[in-house]
């Protein structure tokens, strides 16, 4: 049986099991088991045990539950409300008002986490209930959060940039520096979309609060100081080289606990609720990650990613045609595999073609991160969609639909960095100079 027929069968099985209401993580594992059991020689049970244990026991993954717990503490204490209280006066003048807190919050937290799922989950814990309480339109709140959560991959430090740097033999520090301006650009595109949408739908944005003088705004922003101190502690420990991302996540948890205790908003019941909330959310994400790792192994045995990559290499496209074809290719792969797996499985085959076409490997790394970000909000295996589904209880098609404008903004960002490559390459060149 050829690869196309096998792939078609597995995709059919994926949708069939998902449609029957089985948990996402179990569905991914089940489809992967079918693929290995029927279409390869390896024992499926052994492969499942080794892969799921390997994907669940990595030290880097420890950052994820810690960052989620930090978000839960912020969510259940006064710190998240204080963040809104401090940001609100400055956002009121912008069309869209507090919808921008999704983008600003994700951009700030992305510089801490390196993970799209952690960024989406942590900021969502703070913004979803607050914006709902204030009467903001639910589809815009969820859609902008789904898109802005992907900034966790682009704004350094980023786990996927490290994976690409190793796979493509490219300087990781150069990649980190190259991601700064595209990250700010993408955040600006998201905020620009909120501005345009709110100007077209003025009746759906709640009225602004009472006007304040500049001095009053500064005074009101005093409530931001605890959150700013917390972010500074987490970021500072990473950039000063004192702590890894995982250790910095531990700093964030301790800092959030100390600040909430000082404010008098931490009780024993709040502590337990925050810990249990983080445990439940992380277990959901970890099960999806484990299922995706096993599905990636299964796809690797079948040979699908390798065959597709070889086929694209054989087409002899122009540089622009190659980039567009690769964008479509990675988006399709990202529908079924997690981003890190996509990079690991394809770089070995694609890098010679990319270099032969005269494409800068640093630029290509940022391009890869952008297209993997798109995959975070495309069904059926869009991690941000799953995270938001778990947090909001909404159906997956609804979340994918409201996140669609963010997807098109990412396509626009890819076109911008293609036609103006200096957006990516300028800062690394300045740092070297």
pLDDT: which is higher, 161 or 196: 196
pLDDT at residue 4 greater than cutoff 70: no
Say what the pLDDT of residue 406 is: 92
Section 303-328 average pLDDT? 79
Section 232-260 average pLDDT? 80
DSSP output for 39-77: HSSS-HHHHHHHHHHHHHS-SGGGHHHHHHHHHHHHHHS
Task: List Cβ neighbours of 404 (8 Å cut-off, separation of 6 or more).
Answer: 143
Say what the pLDDT of residue 162 is: 78
Tens digit of pLDDT for each residue in 124-147?
A: 887 888 888 888 888 999 999 999
Are the CB atoms for 166 and 407 separated by under 8 Å?
no
Dihedral angle computed from the Cα positions of residues 343, 173, 286 and 295, in that order, rounded to the nearest 10 degrees: 10
DSSP letter at 224?
Answer: G
- Lowest model confidence (mean pLDDT) among 26-40, 207-221, 401-415: 207-221
Residue 366 pLDDT level (bands cut at 50, 70, 90): very high
Residue 81 pLDDT level (bands cut at 50, 70, 90): low
pLDDT at residue 331 greater than cutoff 90: no
Section 377-396 average pLDDT? 80
Section 97-123 average pLDDT? 79
Residue 419 pLDDT level (bands cut at 50, 70, 90): very high
Task: List Cβ neighbours of 273 (8 Å cut-off, separation of 6 or more).
Answer: 72, 76
Say what the pLDDT of residue 251 is: 87
Say what the pLDDT of residue 244 is: 74
Say what the pLDDT of residue 60 is: 62
Say what the pLDDT of residue 84 is: 66
- The structure tokens 């952690």 sit at 118
Residue 239 pLDDT level (bands cut at 50, 70, 90): low
Section 150-160 average pLDDT? 80
In this structure, is the dihedral angle defined by the CA atoms of residues 372, 377, 381 and 384, taken in order, positive or negative? positive
Residue 367 pLDDT level (bands cut at 50, 70, 90): very high
Tens digit of pLDDT for each residue in 29-74?
A: 888 888 888 877 777 788 888 888 877 777 767 777 887 788 778 7
Say what the pLDDT of residue 410 is: 93
Tens digit of pLDDT for each residue in 216-232?
A: 778 777 777 777 788 77
Say what the pLDDT of residue 335 is: 76
Reading the block at residue 127, the tokens are 């913004």
Task: List Cβ neighbours of 70 (8 Å cut-off, separation of 6 or more).
Answer: 122, 249, 252, 253, 256
pLDDT at residue 158 greater than cutoff 80: no
Residue 2 pLDDT level (bands cut at 50, 70, 90): low
pLDDT at residue 374 greater than cutoff 90: no
């Amino acid at each position: 049986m050829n690869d196309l027929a096998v792939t078609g069968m597995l995709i059919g099985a994926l949708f069939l099991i998902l449609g029957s209401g089985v948990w996402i993580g179990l569905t991914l594992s089940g489809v992967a088991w079918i693929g290995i059991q029927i279409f390869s020689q390896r024992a499926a049970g052994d492969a499942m045990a080794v892969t799921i244990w390997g994907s669940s026991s990595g030290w880097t993954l420890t950052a994820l539950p810690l960052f989620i717990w930090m978000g839960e503490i912020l969510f259940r204490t006064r710190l998240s409300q204080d963040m809104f209280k401090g940001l609100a006066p400055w956002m009121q003048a912008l069309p869209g008002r507090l919808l921008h807190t999704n983008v600003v919050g994700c951009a700030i937290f992305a510089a801490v986490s390196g993970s799209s799922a952690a960024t989406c989950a942590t900021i969502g814990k703070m913004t979803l209930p607050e914006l709902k309480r204030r009467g903001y339109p639910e589809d815009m709140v969820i859609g902008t959060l789904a898109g802005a959560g992907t900034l966790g991959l682009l704004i350094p430090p980023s786990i996927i940039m490290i994976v690409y740097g190793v796979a493509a033999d490219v300087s990781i520090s150069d990649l980190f520096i190259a991601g700064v301006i595209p990250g700010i650009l993408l955040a600006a595109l998201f905020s620009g979309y909120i501005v345009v949408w709110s100007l077209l739908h003025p009746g759906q944005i709640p009225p602004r609060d009472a006007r304040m003088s500049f001095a009053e705004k500064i005074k009101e922003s005093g409530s931001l100081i605890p959150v700013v101190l917390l972010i500074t502690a987490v970021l500072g420990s990473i950039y000063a080289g004192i702590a890894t991302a995982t250790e910095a996540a531990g700093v964030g948890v301790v800092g959030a606990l100390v600040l909430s205790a000082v404010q008098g908003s931490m009780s024993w019941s709040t502590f337990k609720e925050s810990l249990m909330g983080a445990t439940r959310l992380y277990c959901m994400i970890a099960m999806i990650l484990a299922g995706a790792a096993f599905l990636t192994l299964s796809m690797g045995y079948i040979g699908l990613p390798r065959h597709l990559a070889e086929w694209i290499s054989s087409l002899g496209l122009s540089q622009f045609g190659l980039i567009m074809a690769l964008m479509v290719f990675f988006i399709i792969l990202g529908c079924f595999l997690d981003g890190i797996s996509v990079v690991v499985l394809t770089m070995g085959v694609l890098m010679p073609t990319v270099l032969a076409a005269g494409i800068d490997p640093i630029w290509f790394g940022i391009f890869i991160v952008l297209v993997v970000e798109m995959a975070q909000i495309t069904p059926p295996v869009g991690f941000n969609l799953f995270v938001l589904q778990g947090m909001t209880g909404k159906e997956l098609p609804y979340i994918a639909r409201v996140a669609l404008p963010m997807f098109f903004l990412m396509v626009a960002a890819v076109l911008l960095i293609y036609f103006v490559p200096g957006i990516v390459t300028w800062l690394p060149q300045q740092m070297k100079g």
